[in-house]
Amino acid sequence: MRISVKSTLFAIATMILAIGCRTSGANDHNKKDTRTIEADIKFDSDSAYAYVERQVAMGPRVPGTPANIECSRYILSELTRHGADSVREQKGKMTAYTGDVLPIINIMGCFNPGARKRILLLAHYDTRPWADQDINSDNHSTPIPGANDGASGVGVLLEIARQLSDHTPPIGVDMLFVDAEDYGQASGFYNHDESWCLGTQYWAAHMPYAQDSLPSYAILLDMVGGIDAKFHREYFSVQEAPNVVDKVWGIAARSGYGHRFPNIDGGAIVDDHIFVNKAGIPAINIVESKNDVTKSFAPTWHTMDDDMNNIDRSTLKAAGQTVLNVIFNEKP
């Protein structure tokens, strides 16, 4: 994923206007319900960490490589092991901006298929083929380890799947693990949005839902394992699914993670949720996009330092417990 420069400039102008119109401050998005949520189902950050570690041990999961195929099979087997009622692969091909024809393997798992109300959770499992943001230019053609950018979102979802195997959710939960998110063109910035998220674009073009049975909303988890990471309210999420943002950030605050989910607007990120929104499903992105040091993504983004040394169990816990609480606070 990357920050959309054009959209960020528009977002800044929009936020300035919005701030001028508010009477109660910029951080008052969620004042409707302040009751503390005591989670009956505990997200296990050690288990999520182990899922991240297992993926990184496979090596870079660049589309079409043996490690990518191994990871897709691992996800499929874990969903099956955790009792997903249906598990399916979606295979296809997409042409990258480089001209490479990439084999796409998306994986979906379904929990509680009889429920009429459903939500979609998603993450990408592929990794960036080039460490093009690394301080050492010798690494710019080397694939990244992808611990945070790739494995962390998958690790959180697999731990949620493990919990759902023991606790039937009140609603249907579909999980989507997408390929080829990170093969996009970095140069040129906002002119090349559609060079990113190729797996999700393929999924959206061959979506396994009828128009009258779409999930109520979708939550994307991306880079949810960084050290001391905070998740600001991503711009496109607020624009396309403001009620979902309010719901998730409100539950995070009530779950004791308000410091991790500040009610502050973040950047405009080109990521998988863009194409889920285009497919007609209101989608939001839980992503670190306003790092305290870089004011953007984490310092490890698209570098060789995106490894297990920079994965924080407490960050995985904040993201995972929040999403679990969202699921189990839904009404059928």
* C-alpha to C-alpha distances, 114 to 107, 160, 170, nearest whole angstrom: 20, 19, 11
Would you say residue 242 lies in a domain? yes
The pLDDT of residue 4 is 65
Would you say residue 146 lies in a domain? yes
| Spatial distance between the Cα atoms of 250 and 36, rounded to a whole number of angstroms | 10
* C-alpha to C-alpha distances, 262 to 44, 70, 246, nearest whole angstrom: 23, 36, 11
pTM for this model (two decimals): 0.92
The pLDDT of residue 9 is 45
The pLDDT of residue 226 is 97
Which residues have CB under 8 Å from 51's CB, separation 6+?
78, 151, 154, 155, 158, 159
| Spatial distance between the Cα atoms of 96 and 229, rounded to a whole number of angstroms | 30
Residue 141 CB burial class (10 angstroms; 0-12, 13-18, ≥19): exposed
Taking Cα atoms as reference points, which of 59, 63, 160 lies closest to residue 106? 63
**Rg of the chain (C-alpha set):** 18
Would you say residue 22 lies in a domain? no
Token pair of 112 as six digits:
């509680």
Per-residue pLDDT tens, the chain, 332 aa: give them.
777 644 444 444 444 333 233 323 334 444 567 788 877 899 999 999 999 999 999 999 999 999 999 999 999 999 999 999 999 999 999 999 999 999 999 999 999 999 999 999 999 999 999 999 999 999 999 999 999 999 999 999 999 999 999 999 999 999 999 999 999 998 755 566 999 999 999 999 999 999 889 999 999 999 999 999 999 999 999 999 999 999 999 999 999 999 999 999 998 999 999 999 999 999 999 999 888 888 889 999 999 999 999 999 999 999 999 999 999 999 99
The pLDDT of residue 34 is 79
What 3-state class would DSSP assign to 241? Answer: coil
Give backbone dihedrals phi and psi of 107, rounded to 5 degrees, phi first. -125, 135
Helical (H) or strand (E) element with 156: helix 153-164
The pLDDT of residue 292 is 86
The pLDDT of residue 54 is 98
The pLDDT of residue 28 is 45
Would you say residue 171 lies in a domain? yes
Q: Tally the domains of the chain.
A: 1
| Spatial distance between the Cα atoms of 95 and 104, rounded to a whole number of angstroms | 10
The pLDDT of residue 33 is 76
Would you say residue 40 lies in a domain? yes
| Spatial distance between the Cα atoms of 71 and 196, rounded to a whole number of angstroms | 20
What 3-state class would DSSP assign to 77? Answer: helix
The pLDDT of residue 3 is 73
The pLDDT of residue 150 is 97
* C-alpha to C-alpha distances, 32 to 28, 35, 250, 332, nearest whole angstrom: 10, 9, 9, 21
The pLDDT of residue 171 is 98
Would you say residue 164 lies in a domain? yes
What 3-state class would DSSP assign to 129? Answer: coil
Domain of 153 in residue numbering reads as 2-17+27-328
Contact 236, 7 (CB under 8 A): yes
Residue 40 CB burial class (10 angstroms; 0-12, 13-18, ≥19): exposed
Helical (H) or strand (E) element with 45: helix 45-57
The pLDDT of residue 39 is 74
CATH code for the domain in which residue 311 is found: 3.40.630.10
